[in-house]
Amino acid sequence: MVNYEFGAGIWMFQQFIDRYATDAYGPPVSTLEAIERAAEVDDIKVLDINYPFAGKGVTVAQVRETLQRTGLRAQAITPHLYMREFQMGSFTNPNPAVRRKAIDLGKRAVEIAHQLDARYVKFWPGQDGFDYPFQADYQRLWDYSVEGVGAVAQSDPTMQFAIEYKEKEPRSHMFFSSAARTLLAIEDMGVDNVGIVFDLGHSFFAKETPADALQLVARRGKLVSVELNDNWREWDDDMAVGSVHLVETLEFLLALRRINWQGPLLLDQFPFREDAVAAARASIKTMRALERLLDRLDLDALKAAQEQQDALKAQRIALDMLLGTNLVL
Amino acid sequence: MVNYEFGAGIWMFQQFIDRYATDAYGPPVSTLEAIERAAEVDDIKVLDINYPFAGKGVTVAQVRETLQRTGLRAQAITPHLYMREFQMGSFTNPNPAVRRKAIDLGKRAVEIAHQLDARYVKFWPGQDGFDYPFQADYQRLWDYSVEGVGAVAQSDPTMQFAIEYKEKEPRSHMFFSSAARTLLAIEDMGVDNVGIVFDLGHSFFAKETPADALQLVARRGKLVSVELNDNWREWDDDMAVGSVHLVETLEFLLALRRINWQGPLLLDQFPFREDAVAAARASIKTMRALERLLDRLDLDALKAAQEQQDALKAQRIALDMLLGTNLVL
Amino acid sequence: MVNYEFGAGIWMFQQFIDRYATDAYGPPVSTLEAIERAAEVDDIKVLDINYPFAGKGVTVAQVRETLQRTGLRAQAITPHLYMREFQMGSFTNPNPAVRRKAIDLGKRAVEIAHQLDARYVKFWPGQDGFDYPFQADYQRLWDYSVEGVGAVAQSDPTMQFAIEYKEKEPRSHMFFSSAARTLLAIEDMGVDNVGIVFDLGHSFFAKETPADALQLVARRGKLVSVELNDNWREWDDDMAVGSVHLVETLEFLLALRRINWQGPLLLDQFPFREDAVAAARASIKTMRALERLLDRLDLDALKAAQEQQDALKAQRIALDMLLGTNLVL
Amino acid sequence: MVNYEFGAGIWMFQQFIDRYATDAYGPPVSTLEAIERAAEVDDIKVLDINYPFAGKGVTVAQVRETLQRTGLRAQAITPHLYMREFQMGSFTNPNPAVRRKAIDLGKRAVEIAHQLDARYVKFWPGQDGFDYPFQADYQRLWDYSVEGVGAVAQSDPTMQFAIEYKEKEPRSHMFFSSAARTLLAIEDMGVDNVGIVFDLGHSFFAKETPADALQLVARRGKLVSVELNDNWREWDDDMAVGSVHLVETLEFLLALRRINWQGPLLLDQFPFREDAVAAARASIKTMRALERLLDRLDLDALKAAQEQQDALKAQRIALDMLLGTNLVL
């Protein structure tokens, strides 16, 4: 059993709202309170923290102090590139002044990351892309995206950056939509310090095979971080880990072993109607149980089956492990 | 050209928010202001109005007065069954007190509908359904849904009611998900005054063929209202009419002619990043242009092609009309 | 553990071909040979048998004899309503002579069903539907489908009939596409002896929640048979049971318990690249293991969680059972 | 109006079969007969020809003679890498002897291409990929795919090669599934003579935005050929051009203008139930009509709208052109 450290995107402990329940699913939660909640989970040790912080007048010093007191660590800083001012795009905004604002916000996120000793700055440019046919000059979107992320990355070669791709939402088409496309865009940036946050749910959503896409990113040396959750494959439902795609989640954890992933596993959940602390614990319990199952896996037998691409044998090995059938029958 | 009256869901002229742009895409808009905006479109004559109203202290009298002054009419009242208090469901809420609240809100919507001379009360129970495997007792969800809507409908046999089905969002699975399923649930209600709001975008989203699902609803005498918009088929993007599925929108308008639909056509759009008035005008211009094209359609030739199920001939007739190819080539 | 009898569609033991591997995935297999292969599985006791039979000059007497010798039973007869002559439709063919042929073939299937003591005649009209926008008069398709199936059903009130719905393939849109729509069509037939074959994979494909759609069919008294398999949700891949949707398959088996299903569970697989006997055994082993797990399920706790619609609790109960976490942690 | 030369995959004029209509949709058609049929279309000038040829004893000389007589040209040779012997994969087959066979067949296709003066050899390895979770070692699939295609490409640097990607079918997951992924694999091959056949329908199927994916391929200098058709976006239905996605097809044709595409446009259709010659003519008529419409497009206005990413303006320009609204209203 790999003894992964666990973490979470801090948003899972904050307030949720959507376009229908406009009075929100619960009361506002400041960044400081969210850290406290994350700490209640016990097993969460690192956080991906949004900047600007939530809550009136919350300072970096307060965030640092709350982290220290609760024994948590900032793993990443994710700037809010998708608020009202960026509704027409951040790095790809048609207005050059807004594009500069996005780059500036990115740079401020770098400063915060240094101050909080975060490992990387994450870009999830949810408003970059397009909604309608004929709306976009796709070559220009490509150039703006490459230039924007590249500019922030070049501004501080000591900082690691990572792009989290997603197919859609809030834009009906997001620019960074899949692992392969994002790898190509990173190539075009011509920098060494930009990689990928691999989000399991986004990979399902992109119609990828996560265990396959993971190796693609890893072999090119671009895997910076790993986030887990689950969904119904046609939308980013951000559910608890393993709740729908249990078999593929298991395969994904095995793929993490194969690439010898040593970093933390972060949760990216939106428990709209559930208690966030309980929702985090549920995912961690499931991941640990799956990890324990993997210890029972006959790797040599699986390797032999995969060498033959023998679907039934490989499935049997996986399902026997999962269902305990080898023990029981 | 059928000279349809046009209308809209009032929400398209109000404030939009989503789970990422939590500072909203624009400022708040009261129900009264939204009516004014709708009137600016010129061609919009009827509205589907949410209740409770938006804006502090807005009264029915004010809404009525604003409608009269602007020359608009209330077509429907749609109660907000999907706000925070109903996050675990309205008619299907596990808590009987909340289910009663939903029924009470439905009845208040009936009163408002009478006061504003609206034609029907619409139920769109976006929080009724489930998110996770194993979460729901599906038989119970069915019973609660049938009982809840039925109870409101029985409370006032003089009022018309209509259910708007949608596959998902905000729940990852909504109870009323497709035309056929909703027809079966309506049967079980044992009342005569509940029908269906047919939303073109929701029909795309449900993987239905809209022109086909429409006739199914109409033949059973359950078509109460028609809403139009467009999307990318995997989500309820609520875009301008005809922007993606132009051919199928044309086929849908032809299907409306075939069932001799005389009611208004309502818009159900969420122009997050566009001007709402312009977005409404765009849809209306497109619908009128499509209607004009349908006048050119050789209905006898199409009928003959369809009797033979001759795909190429039927397509040729439709595309020639659409592309003007019969004139040009 | 419910001690289900297992069965299979006989096609899973026959020759596979597709539009690319036009030299087929293996040699031809006659109906008689296919029965022999099915018998090799050991646990397969009943078959859904296509008519006309495969193999030159194969007679009913031979089929009966082979069934008896191998200890198998005919559960259903499924007429080949989707061969070349029915490429434009069977019951919905634009040519009345072909529609009559379809009805005649249906009646011959009834005779064969009587001769082989089969429980029901299955209709899977894979060529009934349409491919292109504007191609079909949907009202007419509806009438033809209702009339065609109804005519065969009326011809022998002592025989049970069942429709197997599927969203698409070979037609790009099949007429009988979902559980709810098929229930409505059956209503319109005005007969008592037509029900539904619930195919788990087709339910995934139709974007249904199988455990939910099952109860809908069962409560209306229309569940005739149950077939299992798995797929990737966007196509009818006909894979081994539980290979992708393990959690939902478990929920489906629980739903079968809830409606007290006593009939056999039939496999509907197309093991193009696998050994058919091994593929059947794999599915049966998985189903038995899942059934055994269900015995461990704390039904009272699950009921309580579902009464609260408590997603995390319900999931925990299901996943603890599946992962053995209640025992291990 | 760009005066494109038109072409087709020869298969569209041959026999169709699928897993249900196993007696095929029509009689067998040899390669020679298929060329004759293609010539009947009149506007088809180039063909993508499968090798080995269909029909007993058909020789290269006969094919060349038939092409010359009918005035057609071989544009591409596509080896049958997806027949029975390659059912477990061609370049990725677990058996090294079969992998060598695939490479050898590729090399024979090169010889045929030279003999018929074809511009490129196309690889569409429909059996390379996997069906089940846990079945494949994805790193190995990657290596085999890169090595296999690379080996053939290296064997003749004077020949152009092109990969046609598709998401699935016949494999439930094909290895070369998207434009971006295929570009990455081509990078790894380290050769200059491998590019991409961009199939419009496969791009829809891969959830790409075709006009966007096209520019991505073109900017990297890897666009070798263009094929058109249409589908319902969840499967490779291979329908006539523009029948479903008319707006996006128009946008795609505009994208071809932007990259100044001078090559032919090839059809990739499977008219199972339609006359193949008529089906080809239908697509060509539609493409020409769309091309004519593009001539009316106000490119400066569109450019201005796209610079502002103004969805409504850009849509208006496109829809006005398409619906003739600028002329009529």
DSSP C113-173: HHHTT-SEEEE--TT-EESSTTS--HHHHHHHHHHHHHHHHHH-TTSEEEEE--S-SSSSE
Q: Please determine, for residue B329, whether its predicted confidence score (pLDDT) is greater than 70.
A: no
Closest to D77 in 3D by CA, of D124, D30, D113, D105: D113
According to DSSP, residue B316 is labeled H
Of C247, C325, C328, the CB nearest to A246: C247
Q: Within this chain, do residues C159 and C240 fall inside the same structural domain, yes or no?
A: yes
Compute the average pLDDT of residues A211-229.
Answer: 98
How many structural domains comprise chain A? 2
Both B270 and B201 in one domain: the answer is yes
Q: Is residue D217 part of a domain?
A: yes
Question: Structural domain of residue D321, as residue ranges?
Answer: 298-329
- CA A303, CA A254: separation in Å to the nearest integer? 12
Residue C278 CA, distance from chain mean position: 20
Three-state secondary structure string covering chain A: CCCCCEEEEHHHHCCCCCCCCCCCCCCCCCHHHHHHHHHHCCCEEEEEEEECCCCCCCCHHHHHHHHHHHCCEEEEEEECCCCHHHCCCCCCCCCHHHHHHHHHHHHHHHHHHHHCCCCEEEECCCCCEECCCCCCCHHHHHHHHHHHHHHHHHHCCCCEEEEECCCCCCCCEECCCCHHHHHHHHHHHCCCCEEEEEEHHHHHHCCCCHHHHHHHHHHCCCEEEEEECECCCCCCCCECCCCCCHHHHHHHHHHHHHCCCCCCEEECCCCCCCCHHHHHHHHHHHHHHHHHHHHHCCHHHHHHHHHCCCHHHHHHHHHHHHHCHHHHC
Write out pLDDT tens, residues C218-227.
999 999 999 9
Residue D217 Cα to chain centre, angstroms? 14
Touching chains, B (3+ CB pairs < 8 A): A, C, D
Which pLDDT does position A327 carry in this prediction?
A: 54
pLDDT digits (tens, 9 = 90+) for D110-126: 999 999 999 999 999 99
Q: Is B200 exposed, middle or buried (0-12, 13-18, 19+ CB in 10 A)?
A: buried
Instruction: Provide residues of D within 8 Å CB-CB of chain C.
Output: 15-26, 82-84, 87-88, 126-127, 131-133, 168-170, 172-173, 231-232, 234-235, 237, 239-240, 243-244, 270, 272-273
Give the residue-averaged pLDDT of A129-133.
Answer: 98
Cα separation, C244 vs C226, whole angstroms: 19
DSSP helix/strand/coil, B266: strand
D200 and D57 part of one domain: yes
Q: Note whether A119 and A75 are within 8 A (CB).
A: yes
Model pLDDT, residue B328: 42
Cβ density class D89-124: b for 16+ within 10 Å, e for less: bbbbbbeeebbebbbebbbebbebbeebebbbbbbb
Please list every residue in chain B whose beta carbon sits closer than 8 Å to the beta carbon of residue A15. Answer: 22
**Average pLDDT, integer, range A172-194:** 98
How does the average pLDDT of chain A come out, rounded? 97
State the Cα–Cα distance between residues D295 and D298, nearest whole angstrom: 8
Model confidence pLDDT, tens digit, residues D97-107: 999 999 999 99
Contact D216 A308 (CB under 8 A): no
Average pLDDT over residues C118-132: 98
Measure the CA–CA gap between C237 and C230, rounded to whole angstroms: 7
CA distance A185 to A178: 11
Coil vs helix vs strand at B225:
strand
Question: Cβ C243–A315 below 8 Å, yes or no?
Answer: yes
Q: Is residue D302 part of a domain?
A: yes
> Does residue C25 fall inside a structural domain?
yes
Q: Both A280 and A308 in a single domain?
A: no
Q: Give ∠ CA C82-B217-C152 in degrees, rounded to 5.
A: 35
The span from the first CA to the last CA of chain B, in angstroms, equals 25
> Mean per-residue pLDDT for D298-320?
97
| Residue B268 distance to chain D (closest CA, Å) | 16
The Cα B73–Cα B76 span in angstroms is 9
Interface probe for C, chosen from A319, A320, A327, A328 (most Cβ of C below 10 Å), is A319
Evaluate whether residue C12 is within a structural domain.
yes
What digits encode the pLDDT tens for the residues D136-158? 999 999 999 999 999 999 999 99
Alpha-carbon distances, residue B35 vs B43, B51, B68, B197 (angstroms): 13, 14, 10, 21
Residue D178 and residue D307 in one domain: no
H or E stretch at C224:
strand C223-228
pLDDT at C328: 42
Check: CB of residue C214 under 8 Å from CB of residue C227.
no
C-alpha span between B161 and B150 (Å, rounded) = 10
Whether residue A157 lies inside any domain: the answer is: yes
Same domain, B214 and B290: yes
pLDDT tens for A231-242 read: 999 999 999 999
C144: which 2 tokens? 């033809």
Q: Is the pLDDT of residue D308 over 70?
A: yes
Residue C70 lies in a domain: yes
Give the minimum alpha-carbon distance from C316 to chain D in angstroms, rounded to a whole number. Answer: 24
Q: Which residues of C touch B311 (CB under 8 A)?
A: 130-132, 135
Q: pLDDT tens digits, residue range B293-306? A: 999 999 999 999 99
Identify the chains in contact with C, defined as 3+ C-beta pairs within 8 A: A, B, D
Angstrom distances, CA of residue D258 to CA of A141, B205, B244: 15, 32, 21
Q: In whole angstroms, give the CA distance from residue B48 to residue B122.
A: 8
Cα gap B194→B186, rounded to integer Å: 7
Q: Which is it for strands D120-123 and C6-9: parallel, antiparallel or unpaired?
A: unpaired
| D318 & D223 share domain | no
A118, A75 contact by CB (below 8 A):
yes
pLDDT band at A328 (very low <50, low <70, confident <90, very high): very low
* CA distances from residue A237 to A14, A203, B19, B134 in whole angstroms, order as listed: 16, 12, 12, 16
Chain D nearest-CA distance from A59, in A, is 36
> Is C315 found in the same domain as C267?
no
Average pLDDT over residues A198-221: 98
SS3 sequence of D109-153: HHHHHHHCCCCEEEECCCCCEECCCCCCCHHHHHHHHHHHHHHHH
Residue B326: the pLDDT is 65
**pLDDT, position D329:** 38
Average pLDDT over residues A116-138: 98
Residue C157's domain is classified under what CATH number? 3.20.20.150
Whether the pTM exceeds 0.95: the reply is yes
Q: How far apart are CA C12 and CA C27, in angstroms?
A: 13
**Rounded-to-integer distance, Cα A152 and Cα A105, Å:** 9
Task: Give the per-residue pLDDT at A326.
Answer: 65
| B249, B230 contact by CB (below 8 A) | yes
pLDDT mean over A283-309: 96
Give the distance from residue D79's alpha carbon to the nearest chain C alpha carbon, in angstroms.
12
Q: B224 near B120, Cβ under 8 Å?
A: yes
Do residue C248 and residue C304 come from a single domain?
no
Contact by Cβ (8 Å): A16, A24: yes
Nearest to residue C106, comparing CAs of C129, C125, C87, C88? Answer: C125
- Specify the pLDDT at position D325: 77
* Mean pLDDT value across residues B263-271: 98
**B220 phi and psi, to 5 degrees?**
-90, 10
pLDDT at position C325 is 77
Strand partners, B74: B47
What are the φ and ψ backbone dihedral angles of D139, each rounded to 5 degrees?
-65, -40
**Closest alpha carbon within chain D to C272:** D87
Q: Evaluate whether residue A262 is within a structural domain.
A: yes
Say how many CA atoms lie within 13 Å of B68 toward its Cβ. Answer: 9
Q: How many beta carbons lie within 10 A of that of residue C313, not counting itself?
A: 20
Kindly give, in sequence order, each residue whose CB lies less than 8 Å from that of residue B250, ignoring residues fewer than 6 positions away: B242, B290, B293, B294, B318, B322
Cβ pair C133:B207 closer than 8 A: no
Q: Tell me the per-residue pLDDT of A71-123, one tens digit each, with 9 for 90 and over.
A: 999 999 999 999 999 999 999 999 999 999 999 999 999 999 999 999 999 99
Interval C131-190: pLDDT, tens: 999 999 999 999 999 999 999 999 999 999 999 999 999 999 999 999 999 999 999 999
- Reported confidence tier of residue B233, pLDDT bands at 50, 70, 90: very high
CA distances from B279 to A292, B41, B321 (A): 54, 9, 25
How confident is the model at residue B324, as a pLDDT?
84
Give the CA radius of gyration of chain C: 20
Tell whether C161 and C138 lie within a shared domain. Answer: yes
Angle separating helix axes D210-219 and D179-189, nearest 10 degrees: 20
Confidence (pLDDT) at D1? 83
Q: Which pLDDT tens digit goes with each residue over C198-210?
A: 999 999 999 999 9
d(CA A125, CA A102): 10
Q: Hey, CA dihedral for B140, B146, B148, B154, is it positive or negative? A: negative
Q: What is the pLDDT of residues C12-37, one digit of tens each?
A: 999 999 999 999 999 999 999 999 99
Mean of all residue pLDDT scores within chain D = 97
- E strands, chain D, are 6-9, 44-51, 73-79, 120-123, 129-130, 160-164, 173-174, 194-199, 223-228, 265-267
Same domain, A81 and A217: yes
Number of Cα atoms under 13 Å in the Cβ half of residue C242? 29
pLDDT for A329 equals 38
Give the contacts of D202 (CB within 8 A, at least 6 positions apart): D164, D165, D166, D167, D236
Q: Which residues pair with C202 in a beta bridge?
A: none
**Per-residue pLDDT at B206:** 97
Considering only CB atoms, which chain D residues are within 8 Å of B286?
319, 323, 325
For B174, phi then psi, to 5°, come to -85, 145
Domain match, D215 and D308 both: no
- Mean pLDDT (whole number) for A162-188: 98
Instruction: Output the six-digit token pair for C5.
Output: 């009898």
Q: Which of A167, A207, A247 sits opposite D167 (nearest CB)?
A: A207
Reference D269, options D261, D278, D279, D259; nearest CA is D279
| Stretch among A320-324, B310-314, C267-271, D83-87 having the lowest mean pLDDT | A320-324
Reference D126, options D97, D95, D168, D163; nearest CA is D168
Tokens at B304, concatenated: 């003959």
Amino acid B1: pLDDT: 83
Contacts of C279 in chain A (CB under 8 A): 312
